[in-house]
Amino acid sequence: MAKFELKYLGRQEYKTTWHYQQTLFQEALQAKKENRLVSNQIILVEHNPVFTLGKSADTNNILLSDNFLDAPVFRIERGGDVTFHGPGQLVIYPIVDLEHFNMGLRDYVFNMEELIIRTLDYFGLIGQRSKGASGVWLDVGEIGERKIAALGVKASRHITMHGIAFNINTDLSWFQKINPCGLQNKGVTSLAKELGETQDFKKIRLLVVEELNRIFI
């Protein structure tokens, strides 16, 4: 039996995918309560431009009024502060039962970051973790420290939703409208910016899928 079902949704409005996640999450919770097998699902998607706020996010980290954001804003159930999703960014949403994979929540967060770190390694980039901040970073502790993937999750009864967003060909100017993840004076980057040219999105998506298969075993 497959470890998980992978669904690539292409480009979707955020609200549509968010509601889809919620449905899968509630179905998984109900199955677990009834001692039925949970159907583990992993969604890969790009979004049209959108800003999302974690459940405890500070709205002051949105630096412009709604009239000047040029994208909708949603407050959602995940942890973390404000972030941006948009074209050229691969977002990975696992709706999985961590107990099926012998993982605790800390293991899961580590593994989701490791997924991006391993993918960056294909391109000769050294992805790192930054103390006190989730996600994947480059040049941690240096003046040019910058984030390439943002992570925010929700979990209940070891069932997860939300996930990690990997900037591949993302238009980084959107991040100038916010303090990304609530952090000031921290940079944001993309794979395209680091490598100096637009990247093959499909190729990188398939590399990510390879790493997902190594993690969720």
What are the catalytic residues?
Answer: 181
Q: Which has the minimum average pLDDT: 105-114, 167-176, 183-192?
A: 183-192
* CATH fit for domain 5-215, picks 3.90.1010.10, 3.90.230.10, 3.30.930.10, 3.40.109.10: 3.30.930.10
| Distance of alpha carbon 98 from alpha carbon 118, whole angstroms | 21
Mean pLDDT for the stretch of residues 116-124: 98
User: What's at 18, amino acid-wise?
Assistant: W
What does residue 83 show for φ and ψ, rounded to 5 degrees? -145, 170
pLDDT digits (tens, 9 = 90+) for 79-101: 888 999 999 999 999 999 999 99
Cβ(83)–Cβ(156) below 8 Å: no
Count the neighbouring beta carbons within 10 Å of the beta carbon of residue 23. 11
CA distances from 198 to 60, 91, 134, 165, 202 (A): 32, 18, 26, 17, 12
Residue that is written with structure tokens 């709706």 in the block? 95
Mean pLDDT for the stretch of residues 29-37: 95
Chain centroid, CA 154 distance in Å: 12
Q: What strands lie across the sheet with 73-75, from one edge to the other?
A: 73-75, 50-53, 82-85
Reported confidence tier of residue 1, pLDDT bands at 50, 70, 90: very low
Question: Which parts of the chain are beta strand (E)?
Answer: 5-12, 41-47, 50-53, 73-75, 82-85, 89-95, 128-130, 133-138, 146-156, 159-167, 187-188
pLDDT score for 2? 57
